[in-house]
Structure 1
Amino acid sequence: MERMTERLSSLENLYFPRALQSHATNPSQRKSLLLDLLSRDAAVFLERYGAQLNSEELREFDTLNYDYEINWHLKNLRTKISPTSEELRSRSVTVKNRRLAYLDKLVLDGKYFSEDSMREREPYLHHEFVGKFQDPSARGMARPGERWSETLMRRCEEAILVSKIREEQQRLGVDEMEWVGNERNQQQQEERRRRRRRRKMKNRM
């Protein structure tokens, strides 16, 4: 126990109740407080500092495992240190269930499959299948009921998404004329060509 409390007392940011913090400013004081708690209530000691202990240090409490509370803490701490294959599977199932529940909540809220959400998750895929057939200028326009600060924030987010799409287009070797953001340039060039053709036709007449 001496060696264990010695090691714990050297740890930075070791928890102590607020009433004791002024008496735990150095390792010697912290060790004294740890030994005092250990002698008075080993169950509280395990509850408070058990996560900091290794397997060898936990074995020092085996002589006290007749106590229900101490035995419970020991089993719980050992499970975290060396979980069985069944416990690992159980944890995996729990995590998957939480993720599924969160996904279900997003679906019910109508957010997960909204166009904005899908575009944020996969900006390039959205552009390829949907975005390039839409008017890009509409994304920068203010929406009904939207504050000016919200419009500015959305435009900043839009610039980030466009940058991600363009990076992916460059990586895949997409022709520069087809890069997102070049649509306006193409329209302007096409408009110039039309004007030139009109002028030529007038000159011929």
Structure 2
Amino acid sequence: MEDDIEELPSWVRPPPEGFVAEDLDRLPGLPNHAELIDGSLVFFAYQTAIHSCAVYLFSSALQHWVPEDLRVRSRMTIILDEDQRPEPDVTIIRLPGEDAPDRTFYWGKDVILAIEVVSRDTRSRDRKRKPLLYAEAGIPHFWLVETETGRLVVHVHELDPAAGAYVLTGVHQDRLKLTVPFDLDIDLTDLA
């Protein structure tokens, strides 16, 4: 009977001080799209169709609007500090040089916009914890995308540097038309 018990990977038991950002690149057999929040490994449930469509919509639409000195990336972790390496659904980054093809993360200081598409298993982290982490890291723009109704609702936030927190600047449903962080106009109903 004991022969049927599968050996668990060593990383199932965290070190006493918690994991650090670099561990995501070193732990063997770690599932894809793992993130580090407060020194703990976090894994994702299977993605729903609407979540996938929303990530694709923002990734592809933003490519059209993003200025030449910025880049759109999806499902890449960002290192905010030693024990914080979240994975936003979409980010806009300032790339201070050539992008290495084997890169596994970006630095929080280079992120202009972090977008989280809320799903059932991530709603508490996306709505509460991650905005705090992104604000503490000084990321100037944060969008929270809700999908519960089957339609996209985008809550646009800007960082108030004096308060060190995000301020809601708008809620958008059918169309997302903004002038910051750059001019853009996205049809939120185009989920096909």
**With structure 2 as the length reference, what TM-score do the two structures score?**
0.22
More strand by share: 2
Q: Which has the larger radius of gyration?
A: 1
Q: Which has the higher contact order (CA 8 A, sep 6+)?
A: 2
Greater helix content:
1
